[in-house]
């Protein structure tokens, strides 16, 4: 299969390219980092790149929380306009298979249970509570302590920041394209992806990159809130393998299928920072109590649908992955 990989020179995209080659496919890299400087918003460049292509792995995106709402126009342009241009060109070229780099951020907060009111959906955390160190959301009905669990794909979506909003819009666009063309569209809702080749020292990278960059500078990783936020850290090679499995799968046309893509092993951010610092041999993490509006408290994946429906399973465990990541090279920007 000849597969166009948008963002194919980036962190996740480059691993997708390697995984495709290992499975005997022919990846075609489309990326602004390449000498051609191809941008997914360039309609003519996208149309040319789709020549002879059987499927698309759409990884190109502006990621992370960035620097706040000032980035909103850039996020919408890169992620949503870019996706619309790509899907239009795919419709014109007759390419009917898409795997989209989705994100767990579309859910907002994860799954919570109240002992009295069962499954509940807490709203955004108030700035006053965060400033006072009250990081855990309470039950929206009775205010009592909640217990976090694994979020499934059927959970309501509730994006809490600009990036999350654009990732949900990408899914809506892909669903509309699938209905219009009878194409096959899969969104892999990535959880916290880490591994070799992460970008260093940028506000658009993930938390694992922030910590690894700090250690490389000889500094202690700075952990926001109290470090007890629960996340699902999934290795980039496992994410790349999920993309290949999704591209090869016989998925139905005419609709979007969404799959959580996580390790299935929740860990706290503080736990990750300690494991990474210990493996690197650097300073112990510093729990700062700082916070960012738009961050969610707990979000961990139920990835059983991806395992059951497509036969994927993660291969890189947390401890081994952190040891590898501690010695891995990071990329610039």
Handedness of CA 7, 333, 161, 73 (dihedral sign): negative
- In whole angstroms, give the CA distance from residue 304 to residue 311: 10
Which residues on adjacent β-strands are paired with residue 30?
Answer: 6
Question: 3 falls in which pLDDT band (50, 70, 90)?
Answer: very high
- For position 333, what pLDDT does the model report? 62
The mean pLDDT value for 90-108 works out to 97
The per-residue pLDDT for 332 is: 79
- Give the percent of the chain with pLDDT over 90: 87
Tokens at 46, concatenated: 């996208």
Answer yes or no: 204 catalytic: no
Instruction: Quick: pLDDT tens for 254-293.
Output: 999 999 999 999 999 999 999 999 999 989 999 999 998 8
For range 175-202, the mean pLDDT: 95
pLDDT of residue 305: 97
Q: Are 135 and 268 in contact (CB under 8 A)?
A: no
Between 333 and 145, residue with greater pLDDT? 145
Task: Check whether 307 has a pLDDT greater than 80.
Answer: yes
More confident residue, 325 or 161: 325
Query: For the segment 101-156, what is each residue's pLDDT rounded down to a tens digit?
Result: 999 999 999 999 999 999 999 999 999 999 999 999 999 999 999 999 999 999 99
φ and ψ of 11, to 5 deg: -60, -65
Please tell me the CATH code under which domain 2-110+151-327 is placed. 3.40.50.720
pLDDT at residue number 200: 86
Q: Comparing 5 with 35, which gets the higher pLDDT?
A: 5
- Stretch 236-245: mean pLDDT, rounded? 98
- Which of these ranges, 5-14, 184-193, 196-205, 233-242, has the smallest mean pLDDT? 196-205
Considering the candidates 163, 190, 194, 280, report the single residue annotated as catalytic: 163
Least confident among 68-72, 202-206, 237-241: 202-206
For residue 35, is pLDDT > 60? no
Query: Between the CA of residue 297 and those of 105, 108, 143, 147, what are the distances in Å?
Result: 12, 9, 16, 12
Burial environment of residue 216 by CB neighbours within 10 A (0 to 12, 13 to 18, 19 or more): middle
Per-residue pLDDT tens over the stretch 39-74: 999 999 999 999 999 999 999 999 877 667 888 999
- The residues facing 235 across adjacent strands are 194
């Amino acid at each position: 299969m000849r597969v166009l990989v948008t963002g194919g020179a980036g962190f996740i995209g480059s691993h997708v390219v390697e995984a495709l080659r290992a499975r005997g496919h022919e990846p075609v890299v489309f990326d602004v980092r390449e000498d051609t400087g191809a941008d997914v918003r360039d309609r003519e460049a996208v149309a040319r790149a789709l020549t002879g292509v059987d499927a698309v792995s759409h990884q190109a995106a502006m990621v992370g929380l960035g620097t706040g709402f000032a980035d909103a126009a850039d996020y919408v342009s890169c992620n949503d306009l870019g996706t619309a241009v790509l899907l239009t060109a795919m419709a014109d070229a007759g390419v009917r298979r898409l795997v989209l780099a989705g994100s767990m951020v579309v859910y907002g907060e994860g799954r919570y249970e109240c002992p009295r009111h069962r499954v509940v959906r807490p709203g955004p955390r108030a700035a006053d509570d965060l400033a006072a160190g009250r990081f855990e959301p309470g039950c929206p009905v009775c205010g009592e302590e909640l217990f976090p669990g694994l979020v499934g794909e059927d959970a309501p979506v509730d994006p809490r920041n600009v990036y999350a909003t654009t990732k949900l819009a990408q899914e809506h666009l892909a669903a509309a394209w699938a209905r219009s063309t009878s194409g096959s569209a899969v969104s892999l809702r990535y959880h916290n992806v880490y591994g070799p080749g992460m970008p260093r020292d940028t506000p658009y990278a993930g938390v694992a990159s922030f910590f690894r960059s700090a250690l490389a500078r000889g500094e202690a990783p700075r952990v926001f809130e109290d470090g007890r936020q629960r996340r699902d850290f999934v290795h980039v090679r496992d994410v790349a393998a999920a993309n290949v499995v999704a591209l090869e799968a016989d998925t139905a046309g005419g609709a979007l299928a969404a799959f959580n893509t996580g390790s299935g092993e929740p860990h706290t951010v503080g736990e990750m920072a300690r494991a990474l610092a210990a493996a690197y041999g650097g300073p112990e993490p510093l729990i700062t109590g700082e916070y960012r509006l738009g961050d969610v408290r707990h979000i961990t994946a139920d990835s059983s649908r991806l395992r059951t429906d497509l036969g994927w399973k993660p291969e890189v465990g947390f401890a081994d992955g952190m040891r590898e990541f501690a010695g891995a090279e990071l990329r610039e920007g």
